[in-house]
Amino acid sequence: MRPGRPRLALCDDLSGAAEAALALSGGHDEPSARLAPPVGNIARFAQDLAAEGSTATGPCAIDLDIRQSTPDEARSAVGALTPRSGPLFLKIDSLLRGNVAPMVWGLRDRRDSLIVCTPALPAAGRATVNGRVVFAAHSPVPGPGEPRPSSIQEALGELPTDRFGLDTVRSAGLVAGLAEAARTRHIAVCDAETDADLDLIAAACAGVPDVIAVGSAGLAAAFGRLRSAAEPDPAPVRACGDSPAARPSAAVLVVVGSAEPGARRQVEILEHAGAAVVLVDPTTRRETGSCVRARLDHGCVVLAVRQAAVAPDEIDPGSGRLITDHLAAIVRSALAEHDTPVRLALTGGETARRVLDALGVTRLDLLGQVHPGAVHARTDTHHEIVTRPGSHGGPDSLLTIARHLRHTDHQEDP
């Protein structure tokens, strides 16, 4: 049995996997993310992953690509990749979207370890209070879109839970409470408002062998900070606030598959700064890679979905998949036709996964963070990318990412 500082994370989408691995590293080693195959082929992948485990140099997150899967598929995928022992992190959406309960049932199918859950993400203004996700003042509140539960208990369904309020989390009673939850096999649902609260939860978990932590990148980062404190001389992961001086300017393709209102505003700001915008209508799907290729010499191109086509109350998972598949086909064609490397900014985990699948990517080596949630990586196909959840980032997020990818000196035009 090992102390509760996870190095393996199971994730339901790609942008979350990139966030989780980088956060768990705490600035150490070489974090990576792997793209798992479809559920039907996951058994062999699990065997290969177990064989590689002893040689891994840093935290590894696995994108299971199950945010839009059926509950049975999600449960099966998590169960197949859950090791019998050792600390483990299960990355869930900070807004509780997706197959939260089936994923946790998948954990329970494999082992009886203590499971501690909090989706709090203070960096994005999202706290957990009284078992519910609440938003800090002035933080962006996601618009209507993918349905999300009103509470953690609703997200967990029939799984038995014990709730730990802020008073308990901030007291010496947390450790004893977690021990009792472990004895009864209840899920320990912890409130958290700040990173300091998450640090307390991570520290309490560290004393529990084989603990399973379920949360957002906020909780993963708390384990990363715990690791940094225990290992004060890391081999640092390069920070991404500034691009490396030796990196030449390159064309940048920003792919926005998210229907979040904030993402649309970010596209407008990027267009105002001079980026060329190609809007896709998934009902006709007439756009081709040539539409993008012709504009890449401009420097920065945004590939986004026309607003009317992504009205939240008109989208179902099937039509959403048509949109992302079409975006991925356009990107693959555009890059195949372009003579020089193109750097990619991919927003939304579903969009990122479809694009990288189209490009034959199976692994990301994580280089650092552009801003919270935006992770800079290099793929095993030698593409340089930034991934970011669709609901993250301020109004200038895409502009910041595009400048980071395109320039060495953050010139004013993207």
Per-domain residue ranges for the chain?
8-230, 251-406
For domain 8-230, the CATH class is alpha beta
- pLDDT of residue 93 exceeding 90, the answer is yes
- pLDDT of residue 313 exceeding 80, the answer is no
90 contacts 212 by C-beta, under 8 angstroms: yes
> Exposed, middle or buried by CB within 10 Å (0-12, 13-18, 19+), for 336?
exposed
Residue 85: band (very low, low, confident or very high) from pLDDT cuts 50, 70, 90: very high
Which of 177-181, 249-253, 319-323 has the weakest average pLDDT? 319-323
Q: Read off the pLDDT of each residue in 355-380 and give the average, rounded to a whole number.
A: 96
* Secondary structure in 3-state letters for 217-259: HHHHHHHHHHHHHHCCCCCCCCCCCCCCCCCCCCEEEEEECCC
Closest CA to 311 of 283, 336, 334, 278: 283
CATH topology of domain 251-406: Molybdenum Cofactor Biosythetic Enzyme; Chain A (3.40.980)
| Helix spans in 280-396 (H) | 289-296, 317-337, 349-358
Element (H, E) at 10: strand 8-11
**pLDDT of 410:** 40
Share of the chain above pLDDT 90, in %: 66
Q: What are phi and psi of 35, to 5 degrees?
A: -100, 110
**pLDDT of 289:** 82
Tokens of 165: 């309020």
- pLDDT of residue 108 exceeding 90, the answer is yes
Same fold: 8-230 with 251-406: no
**pLDDT of 243:** 45
Tokens of 157: 């369904």
Residue with the bigger pLDDT between 259 and 83: it is 83
**pLDDT of 129:** 96
Mean pLDDT for the chain?
A: 88
Identify the three-state secondary structure at position 143.
coil
> Exposed, middle or buried by CB within 10 Å (0-12, 13-18, 19+), for 189?
buried
- pLDDT of residue 376 exceeding 70, the answer is yes
**pTM of the complete model:** 0.90
Q: Read off the pLDDT of each residue in 32-61 and give the average, rounded to a whole number.
A: 84
**pLDDT of 40:** 79
